[in-house]
Amino acid sequence: MGSRTKLTINVTSRMVVFFVVLLLFIFGPAGTLRFWQGWIYFAVFFIGTNILTFYFLIKDPELIERRTKSEKEKSQVVIQSLNGLMFLGMMIIPGLDFRNGWTSVPLWLQVVADVLVLLGFLIVFFVFKENSFLASNIKAYDQQKVVTTGLYSLVRHPMYSGAYLIILFTPLALGSFLALLPALVISVLIIFRTLNEEKVLSRDLEGYSEYCAKVRCRYIPYIL
């Protein structure tokens, strides 16, 4: 069995397990399958994730392999663990909110939120096409160069720009204002991860410090 086949089987099996668990966490707390916001969001998330994964399994399997690597730095392991817990909260709370009627998000805002979640996936897609060295663990790889083209000419961390859209608008797409609380915690944790990432890359990746001096904003052009 070739390495690409093994990677495809590994990634596909992970995806199947992830989506089964995601369905349980979305609909279990709601206590019903009539949680229609959950179905629409699941479809959006399913489509976005699968396009990202399987397009690059074909076009750039090395990128996907890097994305499967585990984080080893202790501070980042803590951040990623907290992110995981907050993500679970972000999935569980909307179902409870739907069941108990705690908050109500206007329909138009839910629709806009789903569109912005899709936009987040689209941004991540173009970032992946631009930078094949976007690993899930923070390190500089051999042969890696500083990417300054595409969205990287506007902000230093365009993948996180897309991730912010996905994270901050997921609660609204699921019809819950309460779920914004764990989403905001994830947003803060991303900032800490970013600062550590820039420290590592400035130290280990030639030209990265100069790039940071040239491109001032991390997430939003001309603003942040």
Q: What is the pLDDT of residue 12?
A: 92
- Give a yes or no: residue 221 inside a domain: no
> 68-92 b/e with 16+ CB inside 10 Å = b?
eeebeeeebeebbebbeebbebbbb
Q: What is the pLDDT of residue 217?
A: 95
Q: What is the pLDDT of residue 128?
A: 94
Whether 128 contacts 134, CB under 8 Å: yes
- Give a yes or no: residue 92 inside a domain: yes
- pTM for this predicted structure: 0.92
Radius of gyration of the chain (CA): 18
- Give the chain's length: 224
- Give a yes or no: residue 77 inside a domain: yes
**Domain total in the chain:** 1
Please give the span between the terminal C-alpha atoms of the chain, in angstroms, as a whole number. Answer: 47
Q: What is the pLDDT of residue 1?
A: 58
Q: Which residues of the chain have pLDDT under 50?
A: none
- Give a yes or no: residue 220 inside a domain: no
- Give a yes or no: residue 175 inside a domain: yes
- Give a yes or no: residue 126 inside a domain: yes
- Give a yes or no: residue 224 inside a domain: no
CA distances from 214 to 124, 126, 148, 162, 210 (A): 22, 21, 10, 21, 6
By residue range, what is the domain housing residue 78?
3-214
Q: What is the pLDDT of residue 180?
A: 97
CATH number of the domain that residue 198 is part of: 1.20.120.1630
Whether 64 contacts 56, CB under 8 Å: yes
Of 99, 83, 87, the closest CA to residue 32 belongs to 99
- Give a yes or no: residue 103 inside a domain: yes
Residue 80 CA to residue 74 CA, distance in Å, equals: 10
